[in-house]
Amino acid sequence: MKYLLKNASQTGFKYLDRNKQDPIVLIPGWATDYRIFDSLDLMFNYLLPVGFSPITFEKSLLETMKRNNITKISLFGWSLGGFVAAEFASRHANLVDELILVSIRKKYKKEELIEIKKLLRKNKKAYLYKFYTQCFPKKEQMRWFQENLLKDYCEKFDLNYLLETLDYLENTEIKPELLNGLEKIKIIHGEYDSIAPIQGATAIKDNLAYARFICIKDIGHIPFLKEDLGKYI
């Protein structure tokens, strides 16, 4: 699949009926897709973004909910997906049962993103390999990702898509004051996350009256590949 952020027709949702009662939307991070959640086992039916675009996500999800007579959803936003989830929840609190933010930070610095774009243009595959490796503080924790997704992820993502999603990150931030209308918020974070250091996530939590903070020990940016998050959600 070729990812073109400006092509709204590329955005859609795959419904996975797991014989559960309620739906949850799983929103992937930068340079990943819904398959990153393949090992995740939550007590929900899943709505999985296919051809994910953070720009058209809101419109597409609202249309999907209307078409399927879904009145409330939970949101599980990981990394970049956390920004998307928080933005949707801030605008549609009445449609959100629970907001779960995983491996988040308040904002990415422009200078940091400019450097990433430079490295991507120079050698896309080399930078992506480095990025994925940085998500895991220990090599053995990368095994599942390496066996199932690494090669495909390094090859499949269109450079323009990667650059444009970085543009999205440059122009968005998580604003806790816009989420205080929600009563059910969880923030889940890896202890050794080098992509989004844990101090940024705790600062967001401190400004959310109802939020519960869960630190996953001895893990980095993708905590759900090591820890069973179902016991927290």
Number of H-type helices and E-type strands within the chain: 8, 7
CA dihedral 125→200→75→80, nearest 10 degrees, is -20
- Give dist(CA 55, CA 126) in Å, integer: 27
Q: What is the pLDDT of residues 3-24, one digit of tens each?
A: 334 433 456 899 999 999 999 9
The token pair that represents 40 in the structure block: 């995740």
- Terminal-to-terminal C-alpha distance of the chain: 32
Does pTM surpass 0.85?
Answer: yes
The token pair that represents 158 in the structure block: 């269109």
The answer to whether the CB of 232 falls within 8 A of the CB of 100 is no
> Is the dihedral angle over the CA atoms 101, 103, 105, 108 positive or is it negative?
negative
Q: What is the pLDDT of residues 120-152, one digit of tens each?
A: 999 999 999 999 999 999 999 999 999 999 999
More confident site: 150 or 231:
150
Tokens 């400004």 -> residue: 207
Element spanning 82, H or E: helix 80-91
Q: What is the pLDDT of residues 55-81, one digit of tens each?
A: 999 999 999 999 999 999 999 999 999
| Assigned fold of 8-231 | Rossmann fold (3.40.50)
